[in-house]
Amino acid sequence: MHIHRWAGGLVVQAPAKLNLFFEVLARRGDGYHEIETLMCPIDLFDTLHFQENSTGQMRLECRRVSGAGDRGLREMPEGAENLVMRAIELLRRRSGVSRGARLLLIKRIPAAAGLGGGSSDAAAALVAANEGWRLGRTREELAQWAAELGSDVPFFLAGGPAVCRGRGERVEPIPNVKTMCFVVVRPPAGLSTVAVYGACRPAARPQVIRPLLDALQRGDWKQVGGQLHNRLQPVAEVLSPWVKQLQGEFSRLECLGHGMSGSGTSYFGLCRHARHARRSARRLMAKGFDAVFTVRSCR
């Protein structure tokens, strides 16, 4: 997450994420699932502009970047139900302040895609308000409040790749991971996270994350590609024909590994280098996919 100050306020770049590993361990009594996942931020960003005002009122405007490949963003909520507004209001309540702000959210990350756009936006709102209002809250405090907003939100405060456990709120950053190149596709239709989790059975024999972590630390991308795993993908393939179709398309791209991100429907391939990612993107666009992104992992 990148923060830039300007004379009128702050600009925060909120990254998308990919799940390189996703295991469902158990159903919890609180309605969530116990998971173990390895998430990696990528340089596909939403942009949040924050400008303080003295009225005490909050105003959010959302704009969709043309070509983001998500028709649903035209109806994106701008009121209290938006995660950005919920994050700001939570911070105001916890900090006991009544300051106002004008917010502009520029959306590039497709929704209902398993890329974490809404969660990243919420984390960006917490960071922007904390900095813009000069509240001085620590990252640990922000992470605690972030967990109240959504399971993925604390990850985006970690600043890089991380293993997330519990329902996703327990975050363990992974240091010294070299840059990876990916091609990502968001097909024309998304999936409901609730529906995907509801149809998924926890693993009888969970896949072990350690070989993937060791390969990441060595920078052995071939081994990393071979260790990609997502327990939710077989369920998503039943619920959406797009996931199975993308699996077939990516199998012909000579990627080091490929798989679905989160609860889908976005699909990604780990590429050998940036040229390979660009070449793969051209082939996918020639197949008629319009939401295709070449990205790198980032901090």
The backbone region for 221, taken as left when phi is positive above 0, alpha when psi lies in -120 to 50, beta otherwise, is alpha
Q: pLDDT for 229-279, tens place per residue?
A: 999 999 999 999 999 999 999 999 999 999 999 999 999 999 999 999 999
CATH no. for residue 247? Answer: 3.30.70.890
Verify that 159 and 263 share a domain, yes or no: no
Verify that 74 and 134 share a domain, yes or no: yes
Cα 97 to chain centroid distance, Å, stands at: 29
pLDDT at site 83: 94
Verify that 148 and 193 share a domain, yes or no: no
Q: Which of 69, 58, 18, 24 is nearest to 42 (CA)?
A: 18
Domain boundary among 150, 172, 194: 172
Q: pLDDT for 7-24, tens place per residue?
A: 779 999 999 999 999 999
Grouping H, G, I as helix, E, B as strand and the rest as coil, residue 225 is: helix
**Facing residues of 100 across strands?**
53
Longest CA–CA separation in the chain, Å: 57
Q: What is the mean pLDDT of the chain?
A: 93
As for how many domains the chain has, the answer is 2
Please provide residue 56's backbone torsions phi and psi, each rounded to the nearest 5 degrees.
85, 0
CATH no. for residue 49? Answer: 3.30.230.10
Verify that 168 and 214 share a domain, yes or no: no
Q: How many residues are present in the chain? A: 299
Domain that holds residue 99: 2-172
- Pinpoint the alpha helices (H) of the chain: 83-95, 117-132, 139-149, 193-199, 210-218, 221-226, 233-239, 241-251, 274-286
| Single pTM value for the model | 0.94
- Cα distance between residue 78 and residue 298, in whole Å: 28
Grouping H, G, I as helix, E, B as strand and the rest as coil, residue 266 is: coil
| Residues catalogued as catalytic | 17, 152
- Cα distance between residue 162 and residue 127, in whole Å: 19
Higher-confidence position of 79 and 296: 296
Verify that 224 and 111 share a domain, yes or no: no
